[in-house]
Amino acid sequence: MSKSEKPVAIVTGSSRGVGASTAIKLSKHGWNVTITCSSSEKAAVEVSKECQALGAETLVIKSDVSEEKNCKNVVEETITKWKRLDALVNNAGTTKFNAHDNLSGLSAEDFLRLYSVNTVGPYMMLKEAQPFLLESPNPSVVNVGSIAGVTGIGSSIAYASSKGALLNMTKSLARALGPIRVNAVCPGFIQGDWLRNGLGDEVYEALKEATEKATPLALTVTADQVADSILYFVEDAVTTTGETLLLDGGMHLGGPVPLK
């Protein structure tokens, strides 16, 4: 097979949510896309069909990024199919929901599992992708972080810590790997099934309402809005690397300090 004329992206964890929206938006913009998932293969196939309807060629791979051999396989299959790689979106992530003051609720194994997917997985994906990205005229990596990694909030301390490490790693990689651009996006509360399933309907709705009341822009973000920012970093931000874009409606700013 000859080298693809279209640019090619790998989007990990793209069977739903931000990853699915990103794959679809890239397809609309003329990209071919590798879609990966760790378990939701049926959903990934549906995303693939939607991308194909937009004119994209796709590749669906069931892959857990915590396993180094899987990262190598995803890149190898992508290169075998299209002979090029122009962007890597490290979106695959996991968490364990646990109150921050419940220290006994997290084990060492929980921390290691979250770090293996949220921090080490993106590193291994980029390690395998680097030589092929360097052949691209506009190589880009976007790591999907979280406002939890900036402010220390979120579903658990282990999750916030893993995302904080990912953001620091983004800076290190950006400094080391030019001309590959390495940036990160950090959503706040993302509307959708991931949080709803983890929190339950009642807590999800209450937290969504409280977040919207507390943020300067009075909103919570959608997967499509996050995907728009990822697309910007992939296609347009040609002068930007090592940056972290906060997508939280201003939640990180906190409330005003009352005058006494």
Domains and CATH numbers, the chain: 8-191+222-245 (3.40.50.720)
Which one from 115, 159, 204, 232 is the annotated catalytic residue?
A: 159
Predicted confidence (pLDDT) per residue in 202-217, tens digit: 888 988 898 888 899 9
User: Which residues are within 8 A (CB) of 132 and not within 5 positions of it... i.e. 6 or more apart?
Assistant: 75, 79, 84, 85
Q: Is residue 115 flagged as an active site residue?
A: no
Predicted confidence (pLDDT) per residue in 30-85, tens digit: 999 999 999 889 999 999 999 999 999 999 999 999 999 999 999 999 999 999 99
Report which of 48, 46, 7 is spatially closest to residue 29, judged by C-alpha positions. 7
Average of per-residue pLDDT values in the chain: 94
Quick check: 186 and 150 in contact, CB under 8 A? yes
